[in-house]
Amino acid sequence: MVRRILQTWLQQWNHGVIAVDNGAAAWKVLQQKQPPKLLILDWMMPEIDGLELCRRIRADQRSAYRYILLITAKDARQDLVSAFDAGADDYLTKPFDCDELRARLRVGERILKLQDDLVRARDALQFQATHDLLTGLWNRGAVLDVLNRELERCWRTRVPMAVLMLDLDHFKRINDTHGHLTGDAVLKETATRLTRAVRSYDCVGRYGGEEFLVVLPGCSSTQAVRIAERIRSRIAQDPVGTGGAGLQLSASIGGAMVATAAGSANEILALADSALYQAKNAGRDRTVIL
């Protein structure tokens, strides 16, 4: 009867409601992909009681925080202490008042909203710490971290890999002639074309200025050349719209193959940079793999 009354009230207050008649069924619901975050539990439930369910929920560190309101006929001080020790956020004794319940639920909603805001802020900070804000690609530090991890994997598994260093040809001329806003638009479009040209498990980062770094795990020399040429072709495929006449882009690409007994990340980067230098000296808009 209490459950039905609660369900009616909650639906009148525009809550989506999942009602179950025992603790085991509640625990099963909480294992779903998107379980409810605001919970009303009865202390006395078949199979798993409210206190044990609280303990299980708090022990599950993988899920987001859930706000628990425990309701019961128990009103002794020690019962209140036991409920909070088990992990309940709030405690309401039966019979309870409709307005008091609604007020307590609003407290839970405010706390859950604060949690969501904090999670979004944390995720935004994590993104800013690892991504280039203009292009959305991995930033220099993050892509170098990926490079070091993939090098370790390469040496451990003895599967070859490649590193590409890409430089937009005559980018300074674009900035000087059309302005930095146009230059920014060109970098963003280059990033988009780059990510569309590589494999889903390749890593693309902005290395600095108009330079980009591409880490190609599990890649033979033949595959590296094929991917580099696909990147170069995609970048030059269509002019970049700038509000006036489109700008025709091209890129020079230098690549380094990583042998299973190769040196450090700095040595690999130096080899890719040397290959890029050769591509530029040979007339730009080309690929050189060493």
Kindly report whether the peptide bond that precedes residue 46 is cis, defined as omega within 30 degrees of 0. Answer: no
Indicate if 210 belongs to the active site.
yes
d(CA 93, CA 12): 22
**Choosing from 52, 109, 152, 210, which is the catalytic residue?**
210
Decide if 80 contacts 49 (C-beta within 8 A): no
Rounded CA-CA distance 94/78 in Å is: 16
DSSP state of 200: T
| Residue 257, beta-bridge partner list | 162
Rounded CA separation 213/158 (Å): 22
Q: In what order do the strands lie in the sheet with 287-289?
A: 203-208, 211-216, 161-168, 251-258, 287-289
What are the residue numbers of the active site? Answer: 210
